[in-house]
Amino acid sequence: MSLQPRSIILLGARSDIGSVIAKRVVDTGHRVLLVSRSAREEQDIEASDSVHVADGVDLLTSDGQTRLVEAVERFTTSAWGSKHDVAMVHSVGDFWHHRPLDRLSRELVRQTMLAHYATLAESVVSVLPALTRARTSRIVAFSCNSVLYAYPHMAPFTAAKAAIETFMRCIAHEYAEQQVATSTIALPTVLTQKVQEAKPQGDHAHYVTPDDVASVVLREVEASPLVTGNVTRMIRHSATFYGMGYLERNPPDEH
């Protein structure tokens, strides 16, 4: 259980999962810096002393990384006391449609690795000074259960998620002395609007929800720094998952 509020840097604060995490973080009483590539909308969480906002931050550009560093510096220097606990949660990455490799463009293959892996790796390098200054810090990122199973029609996406898992394990060892811990959450199918549209025949009643994911993120944020470098797998029982073949459950996208 958390002994005091953390300072949480949430990357991808307006993504399908990130927006739910943002609300849960605020409701739980943690301070939060909401970072997103898109502009703010009226229904977004309002900025305050405990909620900082950085809009229009493209993490794949030098300018975006500079703006991230500046926002993090303002955010962490205004934290409670001289020593505080920091977490960075990465919820960034383009949605993946199941498609055979021979139907993909080179640009899409490259962009998939950039959107999922490079946004994390570059942001960690940028924010590392703030993470190592903190009393303890934790990086939370998302992988996918496809890394374990190497499913077809997901090669670029799965490779990007495998890169995330390896990168996070490396950080856990390299920065253990500085109390920088890592948590990688391997997700199954998550019930978002994009998923419902892409999989209209899916077992929606048994998909993990964004709120389920937010609960696990909060648990990981509050974990001891001695618990690090692990991959946590989220699974909800589904009769179709265990009783049907993969390609029956996930026919390739025809668009």
The angle that helices 106-113 and 155-174 make with each other, rounded to 10 degrees, is 20
How far apart (Å, rounded) are the C-alpha atoms in residues 75 and 49? 10
Lookup: tokens for 233:
């797998």
Q: Which domain holds residue 126?
A: 7-189+208-237
User: Positive or negative CA dihedral for 213, 216, 222, 227?
Assistant: negative
Half-sphere exposure of 37 (CA within 13 A, CB side): 13
- What is the DSSP pairing of strand 230-233 with strand 51-54? unpaired
Q: Tell whether 246 is covered by a domain.
A: no
- pLDDT for position 255: 63
List the CATH number of the domain containing 87. Answer: 3.40.50.720
Q: Tell whether 115 is covered by a domain.
A: yes
Q: Tell whether 106 is covered by a domain.
A: yes
- Least Cα distance to 143 among 199, 186, 174, 93 occurs for 186
Lookup: tokens for 159:
């490779």
Mean pLDDT of each 10-residue bin along the chain, 255 residues long: 75 96 94 91 82 96 98 86 85 95 97 98 98 96 97 97 98 97 97 89 91 97 96 92 84 75
How many structural domains are present in the chain?
1
- pLDDT for position 82: 57
Q: Tell whether 254 is covered by a domain.
A: no
- pLDDT for position 16: 94
- pLDDT for position 80: 58
